A = this chain, B = another copy of it.
Amino acid sequence: MSFNTYGHLFRVTTWGESHGPALGATVDGCPPGVPLDEAAIQVWLDKRKPGQNKYTTQRREADEVEILSGVYEGQTTGTPIQLMIRNTDQRSKDYGDIAEKFRPGHADITYWQKYGIRDPRGGGRSSARETAARVAAGGVARAALAELAPGMRILGYMVQMGPHRADPARYDWDQVAQNPFWTPDAQAADDWAAYLDELRKSGDSVGAMIECRISGAAPGLGAPIYGKLDTDLAAAMMSINAVKGVEIGEGMAAASLTGSENADEISMGANGPEYGTNHAGGILGGISTGQDIVVRFAVKPTSSILTTRQTITKAGDPAEIITKGRHDPCVGIRAVPVAEAMAAAVMLDHVLLHRGQVGDGPRGRIG
């Protein structure tokens, strides 16, 4: 019911505004006995941290996480884990113009219309800064998965920026950590760097497409009908700022396929069923097949740009707006670690749910 909470058994409530004193995540439902300290979470926050290269916002935030509860002597206790990140760089003077004018394509106007009040400093609650809290919570989920599903791996990476799409034929997973775009296609990384340099000069921004791959998930995770693994992953990704579309496996392209093209044929392998292809993206009927789970989403370009746009003021008067300040030309870059965090939370949630409803491991044997 809470608008600021996700998850069923593993529940995360994020809180905080971009220019308030702090933001964070209240994590409830983490199993007891999971080794956890701040360093284990910080590693993921550092991956998302702004100002690391010229392609992300120059806002400088230490983004240091403090664990305020739920951990005792290096282990989770099963009680709520409070993660707090202090805001240290709050140059809100950059945002003065925004308090009275609405940025086209931004949540300014709808927050105002809904609530009649909003914190205009840097977008307040609608700022992408909220995703730092998600990444911290994702660190907790990762730590718990390491105990409960040790074979599971979660990897996010960029597959498209503006009109330029990465080529799967060139994918090399070792490349992902080697370029500022988290892409497995080194050639694409070079192309995007050149493209983004041009774009920055023109004061514009651009969209992107991110893919997240979960390998090593046991078959049987997820649930039918309204608790489908793909539904929960779609909702998780769609809740990230600026995301406008989500796909599982073939995604929107499934509309173009015939049944004989789309159905993944099944054979018997040494460790259970195997599939010739993975059009399904690792999920059938909302339940994992044991194949890689593949989720993909599009991030729209940020609306905070240096290009002049027509808008109105609170008073309803016409106005022009240019958004100065520190903004990412491609917010999709920093969505990569956020996607991983959301995927980790959803997967842990379904590991716990499955254990609760069905017990440890899949129930139905094949072969």
Contact = CB atoms under 8 A, between A and B. Distances in A.
Interface bracket on A: 35 or more
Contact of A279 (B105, B117, B161, B245): B105
A146 B98 CA distance: 32
Contacts of A79: 4, 15, 17, 119, 124-125, 224
A4 B226 contact: yes
A297 to B, nearest CB: 8
Contacts of A234: 234-235, 238, 246
A80 interface: yes
A80 B119 CA distance: 12
Interface string A240-265: 00001111111111111111111111
Contacts of A366: 109, 112-113, 312, 314-316
Nearest to A354: B114
9 contacts: A13-B13, A14-B80, A15-B28, A20-B69, A72-B117, A244-B250, A245-B245, A250-B298, A260-B309
Interface stretch (A48-56, A149-157, A357-365): A357-365
A117 to B, nearest CB: 5
Given A16-B80, A23-B68, A207-B258, 12 more contacts: A13-B13, A112-B364, A113-B219, A116-B365, A125-B224, A199-B258, A235-B235, A239-B286, A244-B252, A251-B252, A266-B310, A312-B367
A219 B72 CA distance: 23
Given A9-B357, A72-B118, A287-B110, A204 B260 contact: yes
Contacts of A267: 310, 312, 318
A177 interface: no
A307 B257 CA distance: 14
A248 B245 contact: yes
- How many copies, total? 4
Contact of A106 (B24, B230, B285, B299): B285
B106 A284 contact: yes
B125 A225 contact: yes
Interface string A1-24: 111111011010111110011111
Interface string A32-43: 110000000000
A209 interface: yes
A270 B9 CA distance: 35
Contacts of A184: none
Contacts of A77: 115, 117-119, 124-125
A254 B297 CA distance: 10
Nearest to A28: B2
Contacts of A117: 32-33, 72, 75-78, 363-364
**Most B CB within 10 A of own CB, among A106, A232, A287:** A287
A301 B258 contact: yes
A346 B146 CA distance: 31
B227 A3 contact: yes
A268 interface: yes
